[in-house]
Structure 1
Amino acid sequence: MAALANVSLQTRQAYWCGASYLATPSEPILELYVAVFFAIAVLPCSTPEYPWKDSEALTCDICPLGMFVGTNCSRDMSTQCLPCGKSQYTEFRNYLEWFLCKDSTFDYCLRHTVCPPGEGVRLQTAGTRERDMECELCEEGFFSNVSSSTAACQTHSVCADNQTLIPGDDIHDTFCSSCRANSVQPQDIKVCNQEMVRFVLGRLHSGRLTQRLLRALRRVNRGSADLELSELLDVLVGKKSPSGLEVLLDALDQARLPHLHRLVTKWFSAQGSV
């Protein structure tokens, strides 16, 4: 059998039973080997095979959808196909191989697409070993704050009647606050400080933003190099009555987080809640 000639590194064409399927690899390592292991040509409607040389020239059965070659065939053994792992797939028959390189194992099932925050897995097209999944934007009333190949968009939480509802968006859940921003009672101020800490931690969805606020807070408290952000916020804001709000707003300014500054002012200060 003749392998497909002149297969480009960008696009591969696989054939069996008279049909053609376009395959575009999505991982850089696949580009290095796919021209050799992914060029498939078989007789129309026959059992798909590929050439292999062991101690002699052989033709081996290729693997079905959802699997890849674990062990090539020999004179006494047929091809040993292995199932794709979790969150992996092959959507066409193949003879993509398993490799052991030093202490690392590589197989050539493709990984399912990962949906970024603000998107979730479309439930009707969840990924399997034989197909990739599809992402969809989270609609109004839904959110996703993770990068995932399995999680769908979630419904925003519903707050209790005695809580303040801070609206969510496609990345953040609704925040249900017990803060009474107009109160001057020490206990109410302490609750507001603690709620501010919880709110800010939930809104910092980027490692870069987290580090900026962490550096700003460490400048306020010079002896806090070993404290993580949640610990620093608890020390400087959560337990800092009544100046917790002022400390936090100043840190948000220094960290260049104006959007978060506006939200904290709106929902947790007496001026903003009027």
Structure 2
Amino acid sequence: MGVLLYIERTNGGAMSLFTAGIFLCRQYLYIGGIWGIYIMGVSILWGILSVYEGIYSVGAIYIYIYIYIYIYIYIYIYIYVCVCVCVCSIKSLLLHLSHNPRQRISQRNTMWVCGANTSLAKLALCSLMLALAQTSPSVPTYQWRDSVTGELLICNKCQPGTLVAKHCTSSSPTQCQPCPENHYTQYWNYLDKCRYCNVFCEDRERVEHECNATHNRVCECKPGYHRGVHFCVQHKECGPGYLVSKKGTAESDTECAPCPTGTFSAHPSMEKHCQAHTNCSSLDLKVNVPGTTHYDTLCTGCLGHYNLKEVNAECDQAVQDFVVHKKLSSRRIRRLQLSLNGQDKLEREAEIYRKLRYSLAHLKASQPDKPLLPTLLPILRKARLGHLEEELRTRFLQPPNSLV
């Protein structure tokens, strides 16, 4: 209608009115039905009269009024059908959600009242039911046959935390009651008994959520443990040279990562960070053993200042540290071990180094009134470790300015 009035005011010509008539019919054909086809025919007739008799002819004006009347009639009928569909759809939905299983809705009466036999009513009904289904909460149902009447009923289920005390009948809805203590139902159900809380926490577990009406008891691993395949397992420690990249939880184990360059971790631990190497220069000392990710930098002030006549505990310790941390082959270490205490066993490398440190400490303790280096040098020569003997002489006996 707005298009026709606009064209009439602007006097766009007979052909424009004919096009407007087709446009009007096209819009109403989308709605569907006989009324849309009828209006299309009248609009085409109006366009023909406008071409041959002029835009303001008596015939064109008559058809113009005629179209207005039928458009308004069609709009009123459309509104009436939509209202009927809405009322009947709401009534049907309310009856469906009712707790009374005997309440039914007659499909034949609903079709007659709402005009559902037309495509218009079906479209409106589907749209409305879809919208209501998305916004209205629904109670789950189940089928139950009445033992008295034999009628197959649609009963409402009981909500979580309850059980069925009495199934619905033809005259009463389902009756529910709460679960007893130490029992639960987790979902909507029609059970006549609640489930028993059969989960019990073990020695390495603790209660995360206690048993209640809607959930079984939930256990989690105690601090320091994580969930394994069948039981809780203690979190692992990160070994020397590693830090904790991710602390263990009740569900996952500790994750480790190598220490960054310039840091170390000397012992298995659960620390988040590795320690920085000692800066010998800041202490006015020299580097005796460079640090690695497994141990700290070892500093000393004895390089080139070792006294072969007087006992100096700090310098003797520096000699022991240098020998122990010197990277030697397993064969050479066993020769040295044999020269120190007469033992030569096939052992793991870590155990060999541990015993080597112990043997050097025992050698020092056996001669507390003598410096360690004069006693150690002949032993190295006996073990055919001449290169290590030479390194010790160069490092501790020569002046500092001659050290590389």
Class of the TM-score when normalised by the shorter of the 2 chains: 0.3 to 0.5
Larger relative contact order (CA 8 Å, sep ≥ 6): 1
Instruction: State the structure with more CA Rg.
Output: 2
What is the TM-score of this pair, normalised by structure 1? 0.47
More helix by share: 2
